[in-house]
Amino acid sequence: MLSVALVEPEIPPNTGNVARLCAATNTPLHIVGVTGFRMDDRAVRRAGLDYWPEVKLTRHRDLDALYQSLPQARFVYLTTKADRLYTAWNFQPDDCLVFGRETRGLPEELLHANWDRCLKIPILNPNVRSLNLATAVGIVLFEALRQLGNP
């Protein structure tokens, strides 16, 4: 089953919106590392509305713990630095879509070690550095679901 992982998210409404998206698509959500807020923060709860009971949420202390919890997964890393577009990727049912912090993205060493599985969303305006985290998750998750034949 597809899953989404947020590595050290910093902005509560983004995490809440991603949680709501994951609830709506029955996609497990993994939060990795220390967040920039408390998970019981009012902003996180408000963004997820009353759908939190529908979220299949798992917390992990670090990426190694995430990897151990999903031994069958193929980890796909989203970054503005990648060469390959997310639309050129053939998603598989056990893929885990990994997104980094809003302000810094994923660590450079992680990207370099997994460059063959790094994807980007094209940004047409060169004056815009990145998309909102929740928007990026929605774009890639729905492309993966589309490819896998989910409505």
Average pLDDT, integer, range 105-132: 96
Whole-model pTM? 0.92
Question: Structure tokens of 31?
Answer: 């939060």
Q: Which domains does the chain have, with CATH numbers?
A: 3-147 (3.40.1280.10)
Confidence of residue 151 (pLDDT cuts 50, 70, 90): low
- DSSP-assigned states of every residue in the chain: --EEEEES---HHHHHHHHHHHHHHT--EEEES--SS-TT-HHHHHHTGGGGGG--EEEESSHHHHHHH-TT-EEEEE-TT-SEEGGGS---TTEEEEE-BTTTBS-HHHHHHTGGGEEE---S-TT-----HHHHHHHHHHHHHHHTT--
pLDDT for residue 141: 98
Confidence of residue 35 (pLDDT cuts 50, 70, 90): confident
Amino acid letter for position 119: L
